Chain A
Amino acid sequence: MTPRDPLARLAVAFGAFVVVTLAPRPATSAVVFALLLALLLGPACVPLRRILRGLTPFAFFALTSAWIYAVAPDPTYGAIGGTGWDAALLVTVRTLCVGLISLGYVLTTPAAGLARALVHRAGMPRRIVCGTLAAVQFLPGLAEELRMARLVARAALPDQDRGGRIIVAIRRWAAGLGPTIIVTLLAGAMRRADTAAIALELRGVAGPGQPTPWRVARFQRDDAAFAVLSGLVLAAVAILTWR
């Protein structure tokens, strides 16, 4: 079974997401997490290193949230229905599972394929889908500009070694993160946006004719089987672990 349709898989991911978010006990998330991890490492052939790297921010969030729930419960955030270490465990497992669902979708879905499905099947305008996709491509360049701006600002720090070790370290870390950096980065993004808009127009994003539906993933028997099977598994997991 090779489900190729990015839209069907998006629907399944949303389903899993709803189940995990509503489940009152950590067991639900834990089982979904384990099943999904097996699916990603096995049939989907995603390297474990990529999964671990992608889960790092989620793990960080899970730990900080868990600590807050365990030690300093926040009544305004999260209908956890409890406090203390039980709630902490639930929030940790749920966060990691939500992270793995998003990560699994992103890692197994080529963005260009999703974009084509959105244009040719969901009927979204090509100008908007491709314009957004082009903007996503600015990120690596902007990240490099941020890194360079911080190194330049670090070189320009006066009195490099005054103060204690920690003070120096904090000053070096914070150099270049002043409020003007966001304007500099946005200006770089706007310059790229000009180029990208002209590139899109010159390459015919808006016609004149209809674009060829090239390599558009269709909803096929495998996708239907995958969707039904996932639905059944999710339902079973939910029923077995809910209470």
Chain B
Amino acid sequence: MQRWTQREIVVVAAIGVVFGVVYLAWVQAWLFARPFIGPLSLDIFFGLWCIASVVAAYVVRKPFAAFFAEMVAAVAEVATGNPAGLILLITGAVQGAGAELPFALTRWKRYDTAVLVASGASAAIFSFVYTWIRFNYGALSPGLLVVMLTIRIASGILLAGLLGRYVARALHRTGTLDGLAIDADRRIAA
């Protein structure tokens, strides 16, 4: 396993920082939408809060990139004023670990669409278990729980897995990622 370069460390941290601010804006959007959408709003909005993991892992393709990016995003959110405060560090760790798992299962060798989608879905499942404990989901009806879990996984797949891949590829086309692992795709394609 190759050691992380300093550039990769700063690149992943920067992805985390930028998305930390995006997450904060997304929290405001979610708050605005909550009264209109009702109980399932958290599950619908959930996916975007894991996108940093997917983008970072796809760009540098190193072990723990997904986890590191999500942790940095959480720190950035705490520092810039997320209402949840320090508990976000735990939230970030849970979601980051969830996003990391599928990459770890491929021994950090595969970064195709299937694995990215799995990463978003896995983050959703980890987060569901976590919110179950935190918000006492045991009191809810089983039918509602199934709907919630399904929507949350779909959101993870769409807003983290697929959107993350799209953003990373658009970023790659600007030329600022030259020399990082994401270049491997282009070399194969060429």
Contacts and interface: CB of A to CB of B under 8 A. Distances in A.
- Are chains A and B native binding partners rather than an unrelated pairing? yes
Interface of A: 13-14, 17, 21, 54, 56-58, 60-62, 64-65, 67-68, 71-72, 74-79, 95, 98-99, 101-103, 105-106, 127-128, 131-132, 134-136, 138-139, 142, 180, 182-183, 185-187, 189-194, 196-198, 200-201, 205-206
Contacts of B81: 54, 56-58, 99, 102-103
Nearest to B42: A77
A79 B136 CA distance: 6
Nearest first, the 9 closest Cβ-Cβ pairs linking A and B are A61-B83, A135-B13, A190-B176, A131-B9, A197-B7, A79-B136, A98-B85, A102-B85, A57-B81
B15 A186 contact: yes
Contacts of B177: 190
Interface stretch (B71-79, B99-107, B110-118): B71-79
Interface residues of B, number: 56
Given A65-B31, A79-B135, A98 B84 contact: yes
- Dominant SS at the B interface? helix
A61 B137 contact: no
B137 to A, nearest CB: 7
Contacts, number: 155
27 contacts: A14-B86, A17-B85, A17-B87, A54-B81, A56-B81, A72-B35, A74-B34, A74-B41, A76-B39, A76-B140, A79-B136, A99-B81, A102-B86, A127-B4, A128-B9, A132-B13, A132-B16, A138-B17, A139-B17, A185-B18, A186-B18, A192-B14, A193-B10, A193-B11, A197-B6, A198-B7, A200-B10
A76 B134 CA distance: 11
Contact of A98 (B13, B41, B83): B83
Contact of B42 (A76, A131, A198): A76
Given A58-B83, A79-B135, A98-B83, A183 B9 contact: no
B18 A68 contact: no
A67 B161 CA distance: 33
- Dominant SS at the A interface? helix
A197 B83 contact: no
B2 interface: no
Contacts of B27: 61
A18 B43 CA distance: 25
Contacts of A206: 6
Contact of B7 (A68, A138, A193): A193
